[in-house]
Each structure stands twice: as C-alpha cells, then as structure tokens.
Structure 1
C-alpha cells in the first residue's frame, strides 16, 4: 500500500492572511474611521484690510481726513444656515465682499464630523433636506475653495479672482472621497 501525501496548507493560509492584512490596511486608509473621533478646531478672525506685502513699506503720506464715512471692511453679500446631510452639521455661512473688492466665504460656529478629504464647495445646486440632498452638489457648477481647515470653529476661504460669486446659490461641506455632502447651506442675498 502506498502512502498518501498531504499537501501543505501553510502557503495557502499565509497567502490568505497576507491578502486580509492588505485589504484591511487599504480599507482603513480609504475610510479613515478614526477621523470621526478627532476634532480639529480653527478660530480665524474676520478678514480685515489687506496688509502690505512682506518686506515692503508704504512711503506715501497719510491721506487727509475725509468727511465721507469710510467704506466698511466687509459687506455680507449672502448668508445661510448649514443643515445636516450625511453627518450632523450646524453653523452659519457668510459670503463677504471685502473693501478691496475680493470675496471671502466665512464659516461661523461650524460643527460637523471630521472625515477624509472634506472640501468647501460653492455650488449652483439647490439645498435639499435629508438624503435627497446628499449627492446633488457635484451635478452642476461647483467651485472648490479648498480643504476644510477644521471641522469646528470659525474659518475663512478666499474666492479666486476668476470666480463670480453671483453664479452660486449654495455652499456644501463636501466629502470628495465618497461624493457626499456632510452639510450644506442655501445662500440668500439681502433684499
């Protein structure tokens, strides 16, 4: 009678274990679940007059006092309250025109979850309540103002010069990795 040879299962088990470790590492990198428990608070001051370039000096004489009132440092062009979408989100949004004519989006009292690849988007999409509003903001015109600086606090996002703020009707805290809104605000203009 011949001996039956058993195949070793060690290489197969080692291969499966390696595949599981690689898949777990990739899933952790992609979802970053620890970010949900890490808060990053940013407290930026209201934007003021533009400072002189570094190293430069202003040798012009000071202007004579004027009887006309000075232009305000910033004017609110549009504003709105953030509503929750994929994650609980609150705070206010103000679109400001600065004295030099540039525009800044200001988030005040922001409170949302942290997450991977969060962006601040100006969009032309309508703000919808609930799940209906989670995925609409990348359907139309949108302009990314950059990465969300922190998931809590007050922060400013300067609009690039080529961006016309009149084209946009809403702001979204957008998770670019999963194409979903964490929260959004309809921007209403004063009458």
Structure 2
C-alpha cells in the first residue's frame, strides 16, 4: 500500500507539471500567430519590395483634334497653334533619389496638362502627382511641407520612369500653385519635387 501511494503521488505531480507546459505552448502559438499577422500587415502597408520594381511609361505629348478654320489650308496661312509650355521646373530629390523635368502645358483647345519628362524616381506605395503652393526645399527639411497648405492631386503616378501626362482640371487656378511633388500619400512624404517657373 505504501508503494501504491507513492506511485499515485508521482503520477499526480507529473499531471500537475503537464498543465502549465500545455498552457505555455498554447500561449507561444498565439504569440507566433499574432507576430505573423503584424509582420504581414506591416509588409502590406509599406510594400518595401516596390523599391526594387520599375515601371516605365512613355506617353507622347498630348494634342487636341480641332477642325480646321476657314482658309487654314490656303498656301501661306499661319500654322495652327500647338501646345505651349507655360511653366516648368526640374525635380530635386527628397526621400528618394528623383530627377526629371516638369512642364505645365496649355493645349490649343485651352485644356492644361502637367507633363513629366525623363522622370526617374523610386517606386513606392500610393504615389501621387500633386500641384502645391509649398516652397521646394533641399534636404529633409523639404520632405513633409507639401500637405501643409494648398494642394491638388492629379492622380496616381503612372510609373516611376519615363514621360507622362496628367490632365489638370479646368477649375484649377494655376496661379495658386508654385510647385509639383511626387507625393507618397501613405507615409506623407515627398519623393521629389520641382519649383515651377514661368516659361
């Protein structure tokens, strides 16, 4: 009876020790699951792989189709007006290395287009092309200023390289804006920007 009692006590001790081990195992499993979910969400949000992806877009200078006016086909008649560059500037680097030329172009029908030429920047999550009234500053001091004042988004960046056109809505008063930024809307930071000067 003494031996049986001793055996029962050892078994009880083993059972008691197994309980905490199981609880610790379940807790560790939940911690690993939570960490995996957090890491996955962070990767989806930041999308760091885009920094090594390139997308080149080469669009021709926009033109408008207008019916020829009376006498426009006569010999010696003045040629129809073409697109006119009204302002332009050179992109400088901010959070990412960026270069290229920005042009504000007025088309013969009166519509306006923002054109990026020879753009070369990094890809990233949720990049936009903005017209803004902010000054363009060199270095990190200029990274975050473009959403402080007046700005208008012309849409998502079509590609991080090449020549691209962005229609400017008719209601936008270009006199209110003095710069263009390639803006990361997800992290509120400028990849690059250009100050606009009258052409």
TM over 0.5: yes
Partner residue in 2 for 1:45: 60
Q: 1:96 aligns with which of 105, 126, 142?
A: 105
Query: Could you tell me how far 1:108 is from its partner in structure 2?
Result: 0.2
Q: 2:164 aligns with which of 155, 166, 169?
A: 155
Q: Secondary structure at the match of 1:12?
A: helix
Query: Could you tell me how far 1:62 is from its partner in structure 2?
Result: 7.1
State the Cα deviation string for residues 44-101 of structure 1 (Å, max 9, x = none): 00001147xxxxxx8xx97333555234221111000000000000000000000000
Partner residue in 1 for 2:141: 132
Quick check: 1:20 aligned with 2:35? yes
CA RMSD after TM alignment: 1.7
> Mapping of 1:57-136 within 5 angstroms?
63-64=70-71, 65=73, 68-136=77-145
Partner residue in 1 for 2:13: 3
Query: Could you tell me how far 1:164 is from its partner in structure 2?
Result: 1.2
* Greater fraction of residues in helix: 2
- The CA distance in 1 between the partners of 2:81 and 2:27, in whole Å, is 72
- The CA distance in 2 between the partners of 1:170 and 1:62, in whole Å, is 36
**Which sits farther off after the overlay, 157-166 or 173-182?**
157-166
Structure 2, unmatched stretches of 5+, are 1-8
Structure 1 stretches of at least 4 aligned residues deviating more than 6 Å after TM superposition? none
Name the TM-score, length of structure 1 as normaliser: 0.90
- The CA distance in 1 between the partners of 2:112 and 2:29, in whole Å, is 58
Partner residue in 2 for 1:54: none
Larger Rg: 2
Query: Could you tell me how far 1:19 is from its partner in structure 2?
Result: 0.3
**Which sits farther off after the overlay, 12-21 or 104-113?**
12-21
Name the TM-score, length of structure 2 as normaliser: 0.86
Matched positions, count: 182
- The CA distance in 2 between the partners of 1:148 and 1:26, in whole Å, is 23
